[in-house]
Structure 1
Amino acid sequence: MANKGKRLRAAYEGVDPTSALDLAEAVKAIKARATAKFDETVEVAMNLGVDPRHADQMVRGVVSLPHGTGKTVRVAVFAKGDKAEEAKAAGADVVGAEDLMQEVQAGTINFDRCIATPDMMGVVGRLGKILGPRGLMPNPKLGTVTPNVTEAITAAKAGQVQFRVEKAGIVHGGVGRVSFSDEQLAENIHAFVDAIIKAKPSGAKGTYVKKISLSSTMGPGLRVNIASVATPV
């Protein structure tokens, strides 16, 4: 723990938590402070002026990052017959129906994204209490309940990120790795922020985007000048 403390203290040197950096400066600073022995994930966190306890202030959706996330995504598909074969051909890691439901009920969840054809929702619906809290429940609004399984699998593996605002009005997501170029990270961050802005709910009042921060897995959080990422709402 002592070494970790020293590394974090060193990472925070020169960081002013009260000031906001332009996006290009923040990306460079995050990469310079990412000193872990693995390829750290870069994450964006946004404080929004919403109260998700109200249905008309919920912020939820998906965004396809232009350069992907740098993460290998394991995809499970609930499907039968021809759609199951299509899912396998499209690169799904796990494909099944009632058998897959039983595996999940038994505690085996070896996937990061779950897709289902509409006819399988009767089966998947029984897993709501298991998949829901993990953010894995298929949802037609997110494109994960669909007859177009090939398209959904391709999008998931290509860097599609799901987002959902938390109780405190914060939404966050991984937007790449520190090994990405500055330009790749900046473009991914722009895409993520723009998606959140476009998802502004009808019930949001006042300032919508209050704060944007950037961090790496083991590094400090840096405030980003909102105007350098997107036009404030």
Structure 2
Amino acid sequence: MAKQVQAKLTKREQGWTVERDKLHGVEEAITAVKANARAKFDESVEISVNLGVDPRHADQQVRGVVNLPSGTGRDVRVAVFARANKASEATAAGADVVGAEDLVERIQGGFLEFDRVIATPDMMALVGRLGKVLGPRGLMPNPKVGTVTPNVAQAVKDAKGGAVEFRVEKAGIVHAGIGKVSFTDDALLANVRAMVDALSKAKPSGAKGQYIKKIALSSTMGPGVKVEPSTVAQA
């Protein structure tokens, strides 16, 4: 019988101090994620939530936006499609790039130095030309997540201040960044709870049985830490 060959652990993996298969309380999990973040930069903290949905069905889609109370720790670059007064409002609110036809041409020419795209409703016919560019990157403005709105100033402030979009993937999993390892435990806890609460409120009508099945936290270069879902609820 052939011997099983175990994968050799890297030096980073050898230094991890976490039981990978154990379910941790959410506060314990946050402590473990921070303790195992050994990179020489401020690693992002990410959450993965396995939902009891089948995204192939229209009535089991999960999509939305959540305003993380502690912010994301990221400098979010925002592009806005707007004209006249709305363009001025977006600029005043801190948008990184604002335009109309000129911005369409820049993006068609390869300009993609932004993380969020916001548009006023009247601009969507124009933005639609960029569907093949923005769509695959998850950047297409959508009224369901507040990125198609006449209130561009507030949308820009939200994006800059900690608004995170989420969307379930084919395997029924939602991934999102919820902060940095430099955040305090309490700040990360508040963000975890806000994210899970938003997912709970976004439960689709077609979801049957257990909805939030598994939760895991990790840092950019660290191990995944499994979380007992029942410990995430607000105290």
Calculate the TM-score normalised by the size of structure 1: 0.95
| Deviation (angstroms), 1:7 | 1.0
| Deviation (angstroms), 1:190 | 0.3
Where does residue 14 of structure 2 map in the other structure?
9
Structure 1 gap ranges (5+): none
Pairwise CA RMSD: 1.1
Specify which of 89, 93, 107 is matched with residue 92 of structure 2. Answer: 89
Q: For residues 51-89 of structure 1, what are the alpha-carbon distances to aligned partners after superposition, in whole Å with 9 as ceiling and x for unaligned?
A: 101110000000000010000000000011111111111
Q: For residues 99-118 of structure 1, what are the alpha-carbon distances to aligned partners after superposition, in whole Å with 9 as ceiling and x for unaligned?
A: 10011111111100000001
Where does residue 52 of structure 1 map in the other structure?
55
CA distance in 2 between counterparts of 1:161 and 1:31 reads: 21
Secondary structure of the equivalent of 2:139? coil
Amino acid corresponding to residue 103 of structure 2 in structure 1: L
Where does residue 72 of structure 2 map in the other structure?
69
Specify which of 128, 131, 137 is matched with residue 131 of structure 2. Answer: 128
| Deviation (angstroms), 1:119 | 0.7
Structure 2 gap ranges (5+): 1-8
Is 1:24 aligned to residue 14 of structure 2?
no
CA distance in 2 between counterparts of 1:189 and 1:140 reads: 24
Where does residue 107 of structure 1 map in the other structure?
110
Where does residue 156 of structure 2 map in the other structure?
153
Is 1:193 aligned to residue 206 of structure 2?
no
Secondary structure of the equivalent of 1:42? strand
Calculate the TM-score normalised by the size of structure 2: 0.94
CA distance in 2 between counterparts of 1:34 and 1:18 reads: 18
Q: For residues 22-75 of structure 1, what are the alpha-carbon distances to aligned partners after superposition, in whole Å with 9 as ceiling and x for unaligned?
A: 011111111000010000000010011101011100000000000100000000
CA distance in 2 between counterparts of 1:9 and 1:203 reads: 43
CA distance in 1 between counterparts of 2:95 and 2:19 reads: 45
Specify which of 138, 143, 155 is matched with residue 140 of structure 1. Answer: 143
Amino acid corresponding to residue 15 of structure 2 in structure 1: A
Specify which of 211, 225, 230 is matched with residue 228 of structure 2. Answer: 225
Q: Number of aligned pairs? A: 226
